[in-house]
């Protein structure tokens, strides 16, 4: 129970607390409402006091006595309009007796008294000023807003009152103050919340009144003029900032007056005001000079108008495009004025014009396609060319550069203009213009040249940055071919919308690229056409620019829009009577938009495009086509038929000739002209005023009937009308994103001039900033060139390599080193060249030659180590530099490749140059030693070693060019050596680099080494080529590559054949090479045979290895290693195969045939040769299969022929005969032990070979080629010694060997008697045996007596 009681008490207490809170909230709400009421009452009281004060001030000023110093005498009170005083007093009486709040009262009640004072001409200026101040306070305090009853009438009444301010009786001193107050009130009205209720007429009245103040202030104080201009500026900003709110107020039809008044001001006043601003551009001032009067554009008014137009466009933004009338005004009126005054204005006006057009481009570029092209063609390009003042050229260039700085501008220019066959090449013209102005003409760079250079670099950077960005996003995309080929006919004049007709952006890009290719072909066709009409038109067919059969429209557009065509040839073609050419004439005439033109203007436009032929019939056909077109497009019903147009055209041409031909003495009068053209319009007369206007137009301005081809074209009214007519039907401007393929293509159009300008600027520049910009431009070009513009990069590298001072052929080493150490450009160029070689080596082709030349020069200057690529290299330290100074060979180059960012950032490519330039700041205080250290640091930053160690990333073309440059440089092409030592060091250095490249690219060795081998063949054919030391260094380097190839076993045998083919070529250049390089060759060959014999798979490889082992092993210092290698190979026998067996035998005989070679070695070799018969037997038993029997499918032709018999028994017998012949030749050695042992080994061989299954023919062949030949040779040798004096010992020794040979003959004969006897040639064979026996028995030894061999013969 106690708990329940406590719970009830807690609930009651909580209820009491909640009731208290609720009561407090109600009280606070009441207090808040009371406070709001009090605040409103205080506000209303304050407003009442303010109005009372202002009313009192106005009354006081009106009643104030006259100032004795003032020229104005105020009227007495009774003369002042009593209504004004009454209204002011009535307002005072009402102020403190209000029954409602001020914000609910009609604003006209408290505005009207003050407006009456302002509009009255009977009050002093001071009173008017006080009344204006009162209204200004009312507006600033925002006593009322657009929601107040009567706000619309009040705000419009205020405009009428302020703009009707009367100052007739105001003294001039006070007038300025009153006008400044008027300007303030007008600004306050337009910024007031109720200004949205103003009518269009009221807003236009405000602007017009403000401009009247601007005009009046021209001859008054500067302060009033500035305030008036500033107010005008604020008004324009206020009005056009609301342009987006006008969107729903402009419908397809015109609004009624009542609707416009109800809705407030809108697009109507915006259009009227903008039209007024455009008209200010035509304001002229009259200038009197020496009694004559001239009219020129008022520059101050133009500048003022342009500032206001700029503000209107900036604040309106893209909203202008939603209002067709305002947009058409910008497209037509404004642009016409800007283009007209652009070429004849001051630099300041031109700068404002450029700024205006740039603002229009930002917001409305989809709608100003032709206007923008005209502005560049007729203003910027024209002014920027030579002939205008330097200041105007600078302004024009700055305008162009400002456009180029916009992210997508240059790309849009290229797509819409350069890739359009019927438009100008705007982007290409911009690039070439900048290059032309950037090109230095003197020793120092002018401000104009630096400005143009900066603009060129901006363009290059934009292209490079966008290409890199796009590649980073999609590395798998192809860049397409360059240039594009036109594979099929497509009408070149037809536009296609990216959004509507093409499925994807990729298709659109390809379409644009094809159009650019068409445009390029059209210009080529124009060149042919000017020389031969038929060839030019035939080229159009070949290039797929016209259909088959030809379409007249294709020829028409070709004649109409192709620049620099011969106008005389066009006129002759169009006037021909051929049916097809008449159709071309009709299509040609249809390309003109003549709507809105009067007849003479249209005729001028038409005849400007070709030269009217002299033949009357041709003229008739051309004028008939024109007359029909003009009649169809006339904007009025003036002419009743095309015949009337035709007659009048003829009459105008005759009038033109009459008025402007100097040979015509009596000129036609206006009356005569009108009389001549009576009743030509369907029997009626044309209006006299119309004919009079035509007469005066022709008389004052001749029609150019025989214009020159290529003459400059000016923007005249007729051309502008045609442009506007064409703009109405053309596709809108395409707002594009960047595309890497088009970026590559667009730079290609300006690549040549850009490279030339960049190189010459670098040569003439003296400022560090300019040099830095050149290097940045160089890197950006490299970034672009890597996508298909390799020739451009090669050209640029060739230029910059010259700036390194390393390629001066006339300077000594000392002079070159001095120039390099004391020239900032030289070191910057060197660092730039090798940085590009590291980062963009894949894009370099012919440029490798210049890079290699620079590298070799650095080597000769001792700025490189003896070996640039050291596997144990690390980062250089200061102690390393000191070592280099002492030893001249220890500069350290990092072998790792720190990948550079593709973007142009400070920490990457350009970061090195920032550090480099800071390093140069204290250059003057360095000693000679420190200069040398600086050189070493710069070379270290070049990371030369990485170029070669990382060459695996180079594409085949780049790698081949690099290898070619090194091989040719090693052969001395383009090199001058002062000493043989220098020559040898340079050649060795080149071959070290070649080897490094080969080792880094072993994975694709078969793809690039054939070309390297061709380069070696080409080198051997150089005039005055000396194989020493080139071939020596080559042999050493090639064996390094060979060892590396064999160390990494590859199933593909082509690499092995290729390297041995080159090795074979090198040692054959000069046989002395094998002597001079014997140790190196022997070591390499021995290593191959001891470590990698299993990887040696080709006949060519074995042949070269064993041959070189035999030849180089003859030397005393290499014999032991060579013979041991051979013995090891043949003892093991595992790696002896039918492929290399014959070469092993040849090599073995080579060692046996050496004089004074160790007897035991020769005996060992002979034994191994005899035991090798077991291998032949094994191959015979195993079906002629051994590990070495499989040959490469890509072997040489000779190897293929030899391989045909490798799997046959005959080939096995051939190898045996090869072995027997080696024994036969060994049996002729000078030392008896070797001869006798050779015959014994031969005997052993025949004994073992019995298992080879000799046929009768094989037996007889063995006898003929081996045994009979050996007996004959020994017999001849014995007889030779018998004829010598004191040679009995040698003769008896040889006799003993012959005796053994005869025993061998007998044993082998008996061994193979059965198969021999079965042969059909046995009789001949037996006669051969008997003949040799008989010869030996009857041998005449002269003074040494009879031969002892006969005893053996008798036994046989």
Give the catalytic positions in this structure: 615
**Residue from 580, 573, 578 nearest 546 by CA:** 580
| Cβ-Cβ contacts under 8 Å for 756 (sequence gap 6 or more) | 435, 439, 799
Q: Which H or E run contains 32?
A: helix 2-63
Helix locations, 636-767, DSSP H: 642-660, 670-676, 688-700, 717-727, 740-764
Which residues contact residue 1343 at a Cβ distance below 8 angstroms, ignoring those fewer than 6 apart?
none
CB atoms within 10 A of CB 12: 9
Q: Is 417 helix (H, G, I), strand (E, B) or coil?
A: helix
Measure the CA–CA gap between 1069 and 1027, rounded to whole angstroms.
6
What distance in Å separates the CA atoms of residue 419 and residue 426, rounded to the nearest whole number?
A: 10
Q: What SS3 class is residue 917?
A: helix
First and final C-alpha spacing in the chain: 154
CA dist 45 → 106, 149, 330, 603 (Å): 17, 21, 51, 77
Three-state DSSP at 681 gives strand
Which of these, 1185, 1247, 1187, lies nearest to 1216 by C-alpha position? 1247
Residue 285 forms beta bridges with which residues? Answer: 296
DSSP alpha helices (H): ranges in 562-641?
567-574, 579-590, 599-607, 616-633
User: In whole angstroms, what is the distance from residue 592 CA to residue 831 CA?
Assistant: 58
Record the tokens describing residue 816, joined without a space.
Answer: 């070159």
Secondary structure percentages of the chain, helix, strand, coil, to 5: 70, 0, 30
Two structure tokens written together for 669: 């009068």
Q: Which residues of 194-225 are buried (b: 16+ CB within 10 A; e: fewer)?
A: bbbbbbbbbbbbbbebbbebbeebeeeeeebb
Q: Which residues, other chains included, contact 442 with Cβ-Cβ below 8 Å and sequence gap of 6+?
A: none
b/e burial code for range 836-871 (CB count within 10 A of at least 16 → b): bbbbbbebbbbbbbbbbbbbbbbbbbbbbbbbbbee
Question: Would you state the torsion angle of the CA atoms of residues 874, 879, 881, 884, taken in this order, to the nearest 10 degrees?
Answer: -90
Structure tokens at 298: 């008022």
Q: Give Cβ neighbours of residue 785 (< 8 Å, ≥ 6 apart).
A: 792, 793, 796, 840, 843
Write the CB contacts of 1289 (distance below 8 Å, at least 6 apart in sequence).
Answer: none
Contacts 24+ apart (CB under 8 A), 433-437: 433/381, 433/384, 433/385, 433/397, 433/400, 434/397, 434/400, 434/401, 434/459, 434/757, 435/750, 435/753, 435/754, 435/756, 435/757, 436/753, 437/384, 437/393, 437/397
Burial 61-87 (b: 16+ CB within 10 A, else e): bbeeeeeeeeeeebeeeeebeeebbeb
Q: How many CB atoms lie within 10 A of CB 616?
A: 9
**HEC profile of 260-298:** HHHHCCCHHHHHHHHHHHHHHCCCEEEEEECCEEEEEEC
Nearest-angstrom CA–CA distance, 327 and 1242? 110
């Amino acid at each position: 129970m106690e708990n329940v009681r406590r719970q009830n008490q807690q609930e009651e207490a909580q209820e009491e607390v909640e009731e208290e809170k609720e009561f407090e909230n109600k009280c606070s709400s009441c207090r808040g409402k009371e406070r709001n009421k009090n605040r409103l009452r205080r506000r209303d009281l304050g407003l009442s006091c303010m109005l009372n004060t202002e009313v009192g001030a106005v009354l006081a000023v009106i009643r104030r006595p006259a100032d004795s110093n003032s020229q104005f005498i105020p009227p007495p009170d009774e003369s002042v309009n009593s209504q004004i005083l009454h209204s002011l007093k009535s307002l005072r009486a009402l102020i403190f007796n209000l029954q409602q709040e001020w914000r609910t009262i009609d604003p006209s009640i408290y505005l009207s008294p003050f407006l009456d004072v302002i509009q009255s001409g009977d009050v002093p200026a001071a009173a008017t000023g006080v009344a204006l101040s009162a209204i200004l306070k009312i507006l600033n305090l925002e006593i009322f807003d657009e929601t107040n009853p009567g706000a619309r009438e009040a705000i419009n009444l205020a405009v009428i009152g302020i703009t009707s301010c009367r100052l007739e009786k105001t003294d001039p001193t006070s007038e300025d103050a009153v006008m400044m107050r008027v300007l303030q009130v007008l600004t306050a009205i337009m910024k007031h919340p109720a200004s949205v209720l103003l009518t269009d007429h009221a807003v236009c009245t405000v602007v017009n009144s403000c401009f009247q103040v601007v005009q009046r202030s021209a001859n008054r104080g500067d302060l009033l003029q500035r305030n008036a201009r500033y107010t005008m500026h604020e008004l324009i900003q206020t009005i056009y900032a609301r342009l987006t709110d006008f969107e729903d107020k402009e419908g397809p039809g015109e609004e009624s007056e009542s609707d416009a008044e109800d809705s407030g001001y809108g697009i109507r006043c915006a259009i009227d005001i903008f039209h007024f601003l455009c008209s200010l551009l035509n304001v002229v001032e009259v200038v009197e000079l020496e009694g004559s009067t001239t009219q020129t554009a008022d520059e101050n008014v133009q500048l003022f108008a342009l500032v206001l137009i700029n503000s209107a466009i900036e604040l309106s933004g893209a909203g202008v495009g939603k209002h067709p009338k305002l947009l058409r005004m910008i497209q037509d009126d404004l642009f016409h004025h800007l283009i007209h005054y652009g070429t004849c204005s001051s630099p300041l006006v031109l700068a404002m014009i450029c700024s205006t057009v740039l603002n229009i481009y930002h917001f409305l570029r989809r709608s100003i396609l032709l206007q923008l092209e005209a502005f560049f063609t007729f203003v910027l390009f024209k002014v920027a060319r030579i002939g205008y003042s330097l200041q105007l050229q600078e302004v024009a260039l700055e305008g162009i550069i400002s456009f180029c700085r916009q992210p997508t501008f240059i790309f849009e220019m290229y797509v819409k203009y350069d890739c359009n066959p019927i438009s100008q090449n705007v982007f290409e013209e911009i690039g070439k213009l900048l290059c032309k102005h950037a090109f230095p003409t003197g020793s120092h760079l002018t401000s104009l040249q630096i400005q143009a250079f900066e603009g060129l670099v901006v363009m290059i950077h934009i292209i490079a940055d966008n290409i890199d960005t796009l590649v980073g996003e999609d590395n798998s995309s192809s860049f397409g071919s360059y240039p594009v080929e036109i594979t099929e006919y497509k009408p070149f004049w037809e536009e296609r919308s990216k959004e509507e007709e093409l499925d994807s952006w990729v298709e659109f890009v390809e379409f644009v690229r094809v159009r650019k290719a068409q445009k390029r072909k059209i210009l080529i066709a124009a060149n042919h056409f000017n020389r031969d009409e038929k060839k030019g038109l035939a080229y159009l067919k070949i290039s797929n620019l016209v259909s088959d059969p030809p379409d007249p429209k294709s020829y028409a557009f070709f004649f109409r829009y192709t620049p620099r065509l011969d106008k005389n040839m066009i006129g002759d073609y169009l006037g021909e009577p051929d049916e097809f050419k008449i159709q071309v004439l009709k299509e040609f005439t249809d390309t003109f938009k003549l709507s809105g033109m009067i007849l003479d203007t249209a005729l001028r436009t038409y005849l400007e495009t070709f030269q009217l032929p002299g033949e009357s019939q041709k003229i008739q056909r051309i004028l008939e086509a024109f007359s029909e077109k003009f009649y169809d497009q006339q904007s009025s019903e003036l002419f009743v038929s095309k015949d009337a147009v035709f007659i009048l055209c003829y009459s105008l041409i005759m009038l033109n000739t009459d008025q402007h031909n100097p040979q015509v003495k009596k000129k036609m009068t206006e009356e005569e002209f009108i009389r001549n053209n009576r009743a030509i319009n369907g029997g009626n007369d044309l209006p006299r005023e119309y004919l009079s206007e035509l007469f005066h137009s022709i008389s004052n301005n001749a029609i150019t009937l025989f214009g020159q081809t290529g003459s400059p074209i000016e923007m005249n009214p007729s051309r502008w009308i045609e442009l506007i007519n064409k703009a109405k039907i053309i596709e809108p401007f395409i707002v594009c994103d960047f595309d890497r393929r088009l970026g590559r293509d667009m730079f290609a159009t300006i690549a040549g001039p850009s490279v030339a300008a960049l190189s010459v600027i670098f040569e003439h520049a003296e400022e560090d900033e300019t040099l830095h910009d050149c290097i940045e431009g160089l890197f950006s070009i490299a970034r672009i060139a890597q996508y298909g513009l390799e020739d451009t990069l090669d050209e640029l590298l060739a230029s910059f390599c010259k700036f390194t001072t390393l390629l001066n052929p006339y300077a000594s080493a000392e002079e070159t080193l001095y120039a390099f150490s004391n020239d900032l450009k030289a070191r910057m160029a060197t660092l730039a060249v090798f940085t590009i070689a590291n980062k963009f080596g894949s894009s370099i082709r012919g440029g490798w030659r210049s890079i290699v030349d620079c590298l070799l020069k650095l080597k000769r200057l001792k700025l490189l180590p003896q070996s640039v690529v050291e596997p144990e290299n690390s980062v250089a330290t200061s102690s390393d530099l000191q070592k280099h100074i002492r030893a001249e060979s220890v500069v350290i180059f990092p072998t790792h490749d720190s990948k550079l960012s593709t973007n142009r950032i400070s920490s990457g490519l350009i970061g090195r140059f920032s550090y480099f330039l800071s390093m140069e700041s204290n250059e003057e205080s360095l000693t000679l030693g420190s200069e040398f250290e600086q050189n070493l640091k710069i070379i270290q930053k070049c990371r030369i070693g990485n170029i070669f160690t990382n060459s695996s990333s180079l594409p085949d073309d780049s790698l081949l060019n690099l290898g070619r440059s090194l091989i040719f440089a090693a052969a001395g092409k383009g090199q001058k050596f002062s000493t043989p030592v220098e020559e040898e060091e340079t050649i060795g250095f080149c071959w070290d680099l070649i080897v490094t490249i080969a080792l880094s690219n072993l994975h694709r060795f078969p793809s690039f080494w054939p070309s390297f081998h061709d380069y070696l063949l080409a080198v051997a054919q150089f005039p005055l080529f000396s194989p020493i030391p080139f071939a020596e260094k080559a042999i050493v380097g090639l064996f390094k590559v060979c060892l590396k190839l064999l160390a990494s076993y590859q199933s593909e045998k082509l690499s092995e054949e290729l390297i041995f083919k080159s090795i074979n070529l090198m040692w054959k250049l000069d046989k002395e090479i094998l002597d001079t390089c014997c140790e190196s060759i022997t070591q390499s060959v021995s290593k191959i045979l001891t470590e990698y014999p299993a990887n040696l798979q080709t006949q060519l490889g074995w042949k070269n290895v064993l041959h070189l082992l035999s030849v180089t092993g003859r030397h005393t210092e290499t014999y032991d290693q060579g013979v041991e290698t051979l013995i090891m190979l043949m003892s093991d026998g595992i790696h002896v195969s039918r492929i290399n067996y014959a070469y092993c035998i040849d090599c073995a005989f080579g060692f046996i045939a050496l004089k004074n070679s160790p007897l035991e070695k020769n005996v060992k070799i002979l034994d191994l040769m005899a035991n090798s018969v077991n291998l032949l037997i094994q191959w015979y038993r195993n079906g002629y299969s051994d590990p070495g029997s499989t040959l490469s499918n890509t072997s040489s032709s000779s190897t293929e022929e030899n391989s045909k018999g490798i799997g046959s028994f005959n080939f096995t017998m051939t190898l045996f005969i090869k072995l027997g012949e080696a024994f036969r030749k060994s049996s002729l050695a000078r030392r008896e032990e070797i001869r006798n042992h050779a015959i014994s080994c031969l005997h052993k061989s025949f004994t073992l070979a019995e298992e080879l299954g000799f046929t009768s023919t094989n037996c007889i062949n063995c006898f003929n080629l081996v045994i009979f030949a050996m007996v004959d040779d020994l017999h001849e040798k014995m007889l030779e010694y018998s004829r010598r004096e004191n040679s009995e010992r040698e003769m008896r020794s040889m006799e003993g060997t012959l005796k053994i040979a005869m025993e061998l003959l007998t044993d082998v004969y008996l061994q193979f008697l059965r198969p021999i006897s079965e042969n059909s040639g046995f009789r001949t064979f037996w006669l051969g045996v008997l003949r040799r026996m008989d010869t030996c028995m009857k041998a005449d030894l002269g003074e040494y007596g009879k031969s002892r061999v006969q005893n053996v013969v008798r036994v046989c």
